[in-house]
Amino acid sequence: MLSICETQCVTRPNASASTESVCKLLLSLVVFSGLIALAFLHVGAWMVLPFAGLELVLVVLAFVVVLRHSSDYEKITFVQDQVEIEQSVLGEIKHVRFQSYWTRITLREGENGKTSLWIGSHHQEVEFGRDTMDNAQREQVASHLKRVLLKTK
């Protein structure tokens, strides 16, 4: 999910589910599938239980993998003559600042056709939107940043 305004670009993964709603969903799945497996265990069909357990573990893992990154975000903010990049991954927030005048925006294309967007200055570079944007969005952000930087020069 990408939002762009004149002085800020924010990108984050789609995250329409709250942790609470996912917990409720998983709990209901565990109870429902668990009851079915236990009922069949009661009549001697115990082999249903390991399959049900394995499947529920997979469902929980899938949500854990997705939700771990649901609060991640990446933000570029223009503050006076500075470009500030803020990246939050798994709750850990990293800040990098560049002087606008010297900031360079580079869009590189990898072997598999996937592009990467780099923001840097004086031998320091930060990749932006690696997992949260597609090629088109990276291109869009790159041209927006170049345009804004040009104005500041």
Instruction: Using the rule CB under 8 A, give the single segment among 32-40, 77-85, 123-131, 145-153 that binds another protein.
Output: 32-40
Task: Report the interhelical angle of 19-42 vs 48-68 (nearest 10°).
Answer: 170
Instruction: Using the rule CB under 8 A, give the single segment among 77-85, 96-104, 119-127, 129-137 that binds another protein.
Output: 129-137
Interaction of residue 20 with another protein, rule CB under 8 A: no
Number of shown-chain residues binding another protein (CB under 8 A): 46
What is the three-state SS of 41-63? Answer: HHCCCCCHHHHHHHHHHHHHHHH
Give the residue with the Cβ less far from another protein, 94 or 108: 108
**Cα separations (Å) of 145 from 77, 120, 141?**
10, 12, 6
Supply 15's token pair.
């995250």
Interaction of residue 10 with another protein, rule CB under 8 A: no
CA–CA separation, 6 vs 2, rounded Å?
13
The CB-of-6 to another protein minimum distance in angstroms stands at: 16
The CB-of-153 to another protein minimum distance in angstroms stands at: 27
